[in-house]
Structure 1
Amino acid sequence: MDGKLKNNRLFDFMSIVNEKVNNNLIVQCVKTSLVMIIPMIMVGAFSLVLVSFPMDAYQNFIKNFASGLFYLIFNGVYSATFGMMSVYMTVSVALTYTNMVRKIGGYFFGPVFSSLFAFTLFSGVISENGLVKEALGVDGLFTAIVSGLLASALYCFVQERVGNTAKFYTYGADDVFYMMLKYVYPTFITAIFFVLLSTLINVIFGVGSFRELCINIVTFIFENTGRNFGSTLLYLVIVHLLWAVGMHGGNILQPVADSVFAPAITENQKLIQLGLEPTQMFSKTFIDVFVLMGGCGTTICLLLAILLFGKRRSNKKLVQIALLPGIFNINEIMMFGLPVVFNPIILVPFFITPIITFLISTLAMMTGLVPYATSAVEWTTPVIVGGYYATGSVAGSILQVVNIIVGTLIYWPFVKLIERETQRNSTRKIEQIAEIIDESEEMRKPVNLLELNGDLGIVCRIIADTMISCAGKELPTVYYQPQCDENEKCIGAEALLRISHKEYGLVYPPIIMKLAEEAGILLQTEKDIFASVVKDMDELIRIIGDDADISVNVTGITLKTEEFELFLKEMAEKNPDKCNHITIELTEQATLKIDDEFISRLQRIRDMGYRLAIDDFSMGNTSIKYLESNVFSKIKLDGVLSRHVVTNERSQEIVSTLAKMSKGFNIDILAEYVETEQQKQILSGIGCHQYQGHLYSQAVPLHKLEDMVDTARKE
């Protein structure tokens, strides 16, 4: 299947569309906002299962036991989650949009309050007849999205042009109060705009709110359509169109379902009582039971497709959570968690699947293979059971199974495609973070990855959380890159940390070390790397030989700590025959203060049996000072010098000088990033006789190192 996806022009086109849609600021904002309210969606979904479980004995129990205590609890949780979902979404959109555009400083209360003000007007939640509760729940999600986006965008626009020039000075006012005073102008202008816009909608269209206008437009389509194949198909299309943009299609079209489709069951029952055959195929039960299994989009099929064919762990975990509600046709977790909403790839089968199941069900009943639905079935009735209850025949359940199989197969390639796109997007984010680090080092401008805004900051925090949970509890994966002499003999290897995150794949090592530093686990991370190398040492000696020299990178920050020195001492005492094969490479030494105390610490570490090396050595003052200490046995050339010897004579002169200097101090010199035979020959000619780089091998897992070493020996 993966191979077919790679060569499919349709899927390639969809990938391009998906990328363009997902790069849109509004779509990014809505998707992120939906993710932010997932906790409330999950709690609400499970409370809905508990409050509407379709079993008479259960319903009697929760409504009568202890004066309906359980019902009050379950219904209360539902009302506080799904019943307030639009309010949560409004706040989420306001915060997400403002954080993304970052056009205002300080607190984000202004956009949030302005968005809630706009939502109150647009939703018509407060009317002459009191509070309209439906406007606060999932029915008002589209209104919440529109209100949050418009109000936040307008607020930020005004704040950028007017708010910063407004002067409010109040003696004795604290900083927070002064900052809030600056928000008066944009809040006031935003409020006036929405008052005028709401009034305009009321006057022109004769409705109480923007939400009412949307509902009227949708329901107007079904006036005088009747109950037939065409009206049922139209109903399905519009329900799913509404869902695609975040509107709860089923709830919005509930009046249509009740007035057009629900009476069909009653008519069939009357005909049966008269001894006649039922004649009404297209009923609300028909739609709920045979078409929208698992909810709109026949999402039970999406759940199964991910379980059976998906590989991404986060999606499978989401499905595991969504499966129980999904069995009862409650699909909000999938709609907003995956999400399906505003997802151009998954929306394709989301539309196609219910139409196909509708056609299959219609054909099955027209040909008499399955009886017409003659019993009203609660929409929360589990799949398979619902088919039998609706038709009074096992054929109804079999039809559901057939539809589920067909629907799952429809979703299958799209699940694979969305996972491929998600992985590609994840890889792109890691590359962007790596670019930020490289730019920071090049410009010598510090950066805090955990404080980055938007998606990149979220990715960094997710990876950091994973690292924190693993630090000190499990040893990390370490790869080894061979080091060779001029005779092609493998003399050692450098241990390099490799972390493959379950969601973001292989993470650029400098990202890991930077996050470890920011998260306060750098010391523990480097101890874990060291412990991994010690664990592998017996095998490394067997592969490379008794004179194996294994380099382990340790930052200067860590090496200066007493805790790490004690750790090294303990490791040396427990594993003396292993630790005397380890060379500790001092990295990021440029920012270190070289004093007698630090030199003494290095001497004590050397006396434990470890060898010391300087990483990224150049002609800088810091590097030369380390040579004067007489504690190092090896220097590794700066990567820039090593690469440039092929094209830059000055680099050759510098390396030649360093080689002569190191020889005078009886210190080995090794060049990294050796990629061509020409580069190696030049380095050898100017006095550098140890090499590491892709000319010999990239960093490989321990179990592949032996093959690399054997290949080098044969050559």
Structure 2
Amino acid sequence: MNKVESEDRIVKTRKSLDKYDNALFLKAIQETCQLILPFIVLYVFSYAILNFPVASFRYLITEGRFSNIGYIIRFANNLFCDYVGIVAVISLTFCFAHGIKVQPYRNVMMIMTAVSVYCILVHNYNPAIKDIPSFGISYLFTALISSYITGSIFKIAHRKFNGTIRLKYKKKALSRSLSIAFNDLPIVLILLAISFLISELCIYFGDGYNLQGLIVMGLGRLVVYCYNLNDLLGALAYSILCIFFWFIGMNGEAMMPHETVIPSVKNAVYVIANTNISHTHIVTDQFIHNYVFLGGAGCGLALSVAILIKSKSNLHRSFGAFNLPFTAMGIADIIHYTIPVIFNFVLFIPFFIIPIINTLIAYLSIYLGFVPMDKCSLFCTTPIFFNAYKSTGSFSAVILQVIILIIDIIIYIPFIEKLNNQKYVEFRIRIEQLVAYIKANDVKNINLIELDGPLGDTSRILLSELATEVMKKKNLTPEAYKAIGGHLYMVYHPQCDDSGEYVCSEALLRWEHPILGLVFPPLIIELARSGGILHELESVILDETCRSISNIEKISDISPKISANIVSASLAHPDFLHMIMKYTRKYHIQNENLWIEMNEQDMMHIDDDVKQKLSFLRKRGHKFIIDDFGAEGTSIVYVGSGLFDGLKIDGSLIKNMFNDKDSYELVKSIANMGVKLNLLLLSEFVETEEEMEALKEMYINLFQGYFYSKTLKYDELIDFVLKEKEKN
């Protein structure tokens, strides 16, 4: 993919992300999936144990020696199955309210209203569905409808009529809460009236069924009708409907239990045994388990394997490995919620077409006589391969499962690769947005990992990866870290005097992310600050800087000077002085060879403790330079305080010297002030001889920029220093 195609893809993805960000309810569904994930994991574990396909084990935990443990597991399972509907309503409405940025008081009002709407809509009088728990897994569809209706009407009402009624009391909190209550009361009453009307109409015209009961009954009759026309048609209709419900976040098999629309093998075997009529219906409940939903809905086993083979995300691969034993038992709930498959439009095509392909392959194989029909129904969690052999008594059924599984994996793989590309582009765009946010805001008072939405998610992911890199670099030898392909390293920008002779270098941190490439350096610092690993990161910086000084001295017999960039927050750390002395002693370098650069913005945040440390280190021989001077409004008091040895003029001023008279005059004023205060003067971004000559006339001491040298990696710096030594 060339650069133009890459940029086109980024533009298209940015547009789709903007649309996605505006699809508030879609976001609310995916956020809800993350919120209820612990419940899903609890349910899957308990379900797998309670339905373990060994009768003696099930007896042991239900009636035998470990029945007490079985009771606890059954309680956990029932807790999910009976109440996940109400949890979903609360989570969905909360996420939707958060998305439209309603006030906390309205959050509560929206949730209470959505729960009330849900309770009205699940009410029914039909004995056929009386025993279904009203707040359970079967009513997730109603939970979705209740939250969507409530959220949408609240959103419209808040835009049109927000703050119409304002009550005033002595206590502001009481005034605010009562005002919100009175403003929202008409909305609540309208919603309750609408939901009550829908419920009563459904019950009256639908033989006592509630809204969801009517929908499921209608779809069930459609499947039965298709099945009666042709069992293959029935299997296709059933699998498509189940997959649709899974895709929008609901357990499709709980919404439409196959036993209500697909006949069991037991009934077919009974007919054969007592009437000597050959069984002509190939599709049975066991057929669905063995071949259509091989390893769970959407062939969850094939998805897990494809993720392990092709995914570039360590997190996704760990999910795939974690899900393997469950998908082998036909339980794919966790993988649907963790990847997630729900509303994942990249996986939409394989998720839908794989069950159809599986159905056609299996049906044709049985119809042509390559594989026998099922002779019995097995427990739904009977593992793959074993269930095929046990239900048919033939290894040909196992071979058919292997073939179907391989085909499914092959189908999933290109879509996993596409998912990798999408995640890369999305992540890159989020990084760009995060960098723009840092440039536009004073992030020193903002914790990046506490940000809401995509920026916070991106910050937390990057911080986790950065922390891992820092710990590796800190704990491994340089050789070992390089051998494992470490991504944190230092580059050095040489600084020369007015005769072009090399004097010192600035050490700059680089993080070459394995997927994103070079990460914006200020972002690295702000992530470390937000995540509490800034001290560890700057320990790594000082360690490598001092090691470079020592090595250059040994190789070239010159006394090199290198400056390291440190922020004021590090100086405030109680261990900072010890850290400086630790590395200068460790590498036996002279104190005057280690310079410290501090950003101009940091000057506004130094206290008396930091001033004492600066004074102490200066007495030991270290030089302190104010970096990017002139970019912000540094107090002249700090410049003339005697705490600093030099000023590095901001590169943006140097760039604009000949295009902007104000920039030229500002550089000249800074230089004059530096000369009068007897400060070392450095300039960066010196790229032309014209700039260098103009700066010389202003008595600038040191020059840094591409006119002399680009930034160099360690080995390149060694070569540069040796060449400079040969010149002299």
One fold, TM greater than 0.5? yes
TM-score, with length taken from structure 1: 0.86
User: In 2, distance between residues paired with 1:571 and 1:707?
Assistant: 24
Query: Is the 8 Å Cα contact of residues 613 and 635 (structure 1) preserved in structure 2?
Result: yes
Query: Residue type matched to 1:51 in 2?
Result: L
Tell me the equivalent position of 1:655. Answer: 667
Secondary structure (helix, strand or coil) at the match of 2:522 reads: helix
Query: Is the 8 Å Cα contact of residues 371 and 391 (structure 1) preserved in structure 2?
Result: yes
User: In 2, distance between residues paired with 1:24 and 1:676?
Assistant: 51
Map 1:377-396 → 2, pairs under 5 A: 377-396=378-397
Tell me the equivalent position of 2:50. Answer: 51
User: In 2, distance between residues paired with 1:45 and 1:708?
Assistant: 61
User: In 2, distance between residues paired with 1:348 and 1:704?
Assistant: 50
Map 1:171-570 → 2, pairs under 5 A: 179-185=176-182, 187-205=184-202, 206-207=205-206, 208-225=209-226, 226=228, 227-254=230-257, 257-268=258-269, 270-271=271-272, 278-441=279-442, 447-463=446-462, 475=474, 477-485=488-496, 491-499=503-511, 507-519=519-531, 522-539=534-551, 541=553, 546-560=558-572, 563-570=575-582
Post-superposition shift, 1:292? Answer: 0.6
Query: Residue type matched to 1:298 in 2?
Result: C
Query: Residue type matched to 1:643 in 2?
Result: K
TM-score, with length taken from structure 2: 0.85
Query: Is the 8 Å Cα contact of residues 162 and 185 (structure 1) preserved in structure 2?
Result: no
Identity %: 23
CA gap 1:62/1:188 in 2 versus in 1, 3 angstroms: same
User: In 1, distance between residues paired with 2:660 and 2:470?
Assistant: 43
Tell me the equivalent position of 1:124. Answer: 123
Structure 1 regions of 5+ residues with no counterpart?
A: none
CA gap 1:561/1:321 in 2 versus in 1, 3 angstroms: closer
Query: Is the 8 Å Cα contact of residues 374 and 391 (structure 1) preserved in structure 2?
Result: yes
User: In 2, distance between residues paired with 1:24 and 1:680?
Assistant: 54
Post-superposition shift, 1:304? Answer: 0.4
Map 1:569-580 → 2, pairs under 5 A: 569-577=581-589, 579-580=591-592
Which one of the candidate residues 604, 619, 628 is aligned to 1:607? Answer: 619
CA gap 1:169/1:663 in 2 versus in 1, 3 angstroms: closer
User: In 2, distance between residues paired with 1:10 and 1:523?
Assistant: 38
Tell me the equivalent position of 1:79. Answer: 78
Tell me the equivalent position of 1:28. Answer: 27
User: In 2, distance between residues paired with 1:96 and 1:595?
Assistant: 42
Deviations 1:559-617 (A, max 9, x none): 35554234334444444416543210022446537888765532311222322111011
Secondary structure (helix, strand or coil) at the match of 2:566 reads: strand
Which one of the candidate residues 654, 661, 665 is aligned to 1:642? Answer: 654
Deviations 1:657-692 (A, max 9, x none): 444554565544333344567655655565546444
Query: Is the 8 Å Cα contact of residues 488 and 509 (structure 2) preserved in structure 1?
Result: yes
Query: Is the 8 Å Cα contact of residues 627 and 648 (structure 2) preserved in structure 1?
Result: yes
Secondary structure (helix, strand or coil) at the match of 2:297 reads: coil
CA gap 1:540/1:258 in 2 versus in 1, 3 angstroms: farther
User: In 1, distance between residues paired with 2:393 and 2:173?
Assistant: 67
CA gap 1:673/1:376 in 2 versus in 1, 3 angstroms: farther
Secondary structure (helix, strand or coil) at the match of 2:401 reads: helix
Post-superposition shift, 1:75? Answer: 1.4
Secondary structure (helix, strand or coil) at the match of 2:63 reads: helix
CA gap 1:608/1:124 in 2 versus in 1, 3 angstroms: farther
Tell me the equivalent position of 1:587. Answer: 599
User: In 1, distance between residues paired with 2:435 and 2:15?
Assistant: 24
Q: More deviation in 704-713 or 411-420?
A: 704-713
RMSD: 4.0
User: In 1, distance between residues paired with 2:467 and 2:165?
Assistant: 45
Post-superposition shift, 1:703? Answer: 5.9
Query: Residue type matched to 1:212 in 2?
Result: G
Post-superposition shift, 1:710? Answer: 8.3
Query: Residue type matched to 2:197 in 1?
Result: L
User: In 1, distance between residues paired with 2:499 and 2:211?
Assistant: 79
Deviations 1:418-450 (A, max 9, x none): 122112212212221221221125xx9965534
CA gap 1:361/1:155 in 2 versus in 1, 3 angstroms: same
Post-superposition shift, 1:92? Answer: 1.5
CA gap 1:126/1:429 in 2 versus in 1, 3 angstroms: farther
Query: Is the 8 Å Cα contact of residues 602 and 631 (structure 1) preserved in structure 2?
Result: yes
Query: Residue type matched to 1:483 in 2?
Result: P
Post-superposition shift, 1:59? Answer: 1.0
Q: More deviation in 578-587 or 536-545?
A: 536-545
Query: Is the 8 Å Cα contact of residues 302 and 411 (structure 1) preserved in structure 2?
Result: yes
Query: Residue type matched to 1:495 in 2?
Result: A
Post-superposition shift, 1:391? Answer: 1.4
User: In 2, distance between residues paired with 1:187 and 1:405?
Assistant: 56
Q: More deviation in 651-660 or 88-97?
A: 651-660
Query: Is the 8 Å Cα contact of residues 239 and 253 (structure 1) preserved in structure 2?
Result: yes
Q: More deviation in 361-370 or 697-706?
A: 697-706
Q: Tell me, yes or no, if structure 1 residue 669 matches structure 2 residue 672.
A: no
Query: Is the 8 Å Cα contact of residues 551 and 585 (structure 1) preserved in structure 2?
Result: yes
CA gap 1:353/1:649 in 2 versus in 1, 3 angstroms: same
Post-superposition shift, 1:498? Answer: 3.9
Query: Residue type matched to 2:648 in 1?
Result: K
User: In 2, distance between residues paired with 1:636 and 1:196?
Assistant: 70
Map 1:628-639 → 2, pairs under 5 A: 628-639=640-651
User: In 1, distance between residues paired with 2:530 and 2:331?
Assistant: 41
User: In 1, distance between residues paired with 2:411 and 2:571?
Assistant: 57
User: In 1, distance between residues paired with 2:18 and 2:165?
Assistant: 40
Q: More deviation in 70-79 or 161-170?
A: 161-170
Query: Is the 8 Å Cα contact of residues 114 and 190 (structure 1) preserved in structure 2?
Result: no
CA gap 1:129/1:353 in 2 versus in 1, 3 angstroms: closer
User: In 2, distance between residues paired with 1:21 and 1:159?
Assistant: 22
Q: Tell me, yes or no, if structure 1 residue 100 matches structure 2 residue 99.
A: yes
User: In 2, distance between residues paired with 1:378 and 1:619?
Assistant: 71
Query: Is the 8 Å Cα contact of residues 303 and 323 (structure 1) preserved in structure 2?
Result: yes
Query: Residue type matched to 1:200 in 2?
Result: L
Tell me the equivalent position of 1:151. Answer: 150
CA gap 1:308/1:638 in 2 versus in 1, 3 angstroms: same
Post-superposition shift, 1:413? Answer: 0.8
User: In 1, distance between residues paired with 2:722 and 2:32?
Assistant: 54
Q: More deviation in 263-272 or 229-238?
A: 263-272
Query: Is the 8 Å Cα contact of residues 511 and 518 (structure 2) preserved in structure 1?
Result: yes
Post-superposition shift, 1:645? Answer: 2.2
Structure 2 regions of 5+ residues with no counterpart?
A: 475-486
Query: Is the 8 Å Cα contact of residues 313 and 502 (structure 1) preserved in structure 2?
Result: no
Post-superposition shift, 1:459? Answer: 3.1
Query: Is the 8 Å Cα contact of residues 370 and 396 (structure 2) preserved in structure 1?
Result: yes
Query: Residue type matched to 2:93 in 1?
Result: A
Aligned residues between the structures: 707
Secondary structure (helix, strand or coil) at the match of 2:490 reads: strand
CA gap 1:620/1:252 in 2 versus in 1, 3 angstroms: closer
